[in-house]
Structure 1
Amino acid sequence: MSVTTTTHLNFRGDARAALEFYRSVFGGELAVITYQDAQSVQDPSEAEQVMWGQVIADNGFHVMAYDVPVRLDYDQGEKSCFVSVRGETVEEITAFWERLTEGSTVVQPLGPSGWAPAYGMLKDRFGVVWVLDVVGDYAG
């Protein structure tokens, strides 16, 4: 059983540029999936924006990022990051989810998604937004 936490940064149209900059600073590999790649375009202007991206380096640096869709509220100072918890099994993530939901507001119920066997998002009673998912292969 292995769990990792990663800072997940939120942008409105600047995620790719930010990830490219962080890669230039810390090194590592850049991975980006656009809304178009994931067949999840709801606004044509967002097709090439980042639905999921990360920079991960051998030196231990790891950051994730995405472009918040225009249909969702976004305030750079208020919702600038999530805490991402990634586990290896649905059972493992479900157990964490059940404990974190106490006093929380569920943003996206935990369940299967197009990119993971389980994915969910909640805002805990302290105002921290958590994204929990299970390691999965992208089939895009």
Structure 2
Amino acid sequence: MSVNVVIHLNFRGEAAAARVAAPGGFRVLADDVPAHLPWDQGENAFFVSLGAGTAVEHGAS
């Protein structure tokens, strides 16, 4: 089973300059926080998502 870990960095209007993907599966993605949501550079600056290929790999029944 493979597990994908992606780190998402939150920005305000600068996300396009911060995208990284390596051949071995390491990924950092940048997201622009929507203008209607509050944003402070020091708060909620990132989140991590985990994923696998199928529901069976996740252990779902």
1:85 aligns with 2:53: no
Asked whether the equivalents of residues 87 and 93 of structure 1 are also in contact (C-alpha less than 8 Å), the reply is no
TM-score of the pair, normalised by structure 1: 0.36
TM superposition shift of 1:60: 5.5
Q: Could you list the structure 1 runs, at least 4 aligned residues long, displaced by more than 3 angstroms after superposition.
A: none
CA RMSD of aligned residues (A): 2.5
- Opposite residue 77 of structure 1, the aligned amino acid is G
Aligned identity (percent) is 50
Structure 1: 5+ residue runs without aligned partners?
20-54, 96-140
Shift in CA distance, 93/81, structure 1 to aligned 2, threshold 3 Å: farther
Structure 2: 5+ residue runs without aligned partners?
none
TM superposition shift of 1:3: 1.4
CA distance in 2, matches of 1:74, 1:93: 35
Aligned length: 60
- Opposite residue 53 of structure 2, the aligned amino acid is E
Alignment partner, residue 7 of structure 1: 7
Larger RCO, structures 1/2 (Cα 8 Å, 6+ apart) = 2
Q: Which has the higher helix share?
A: 1
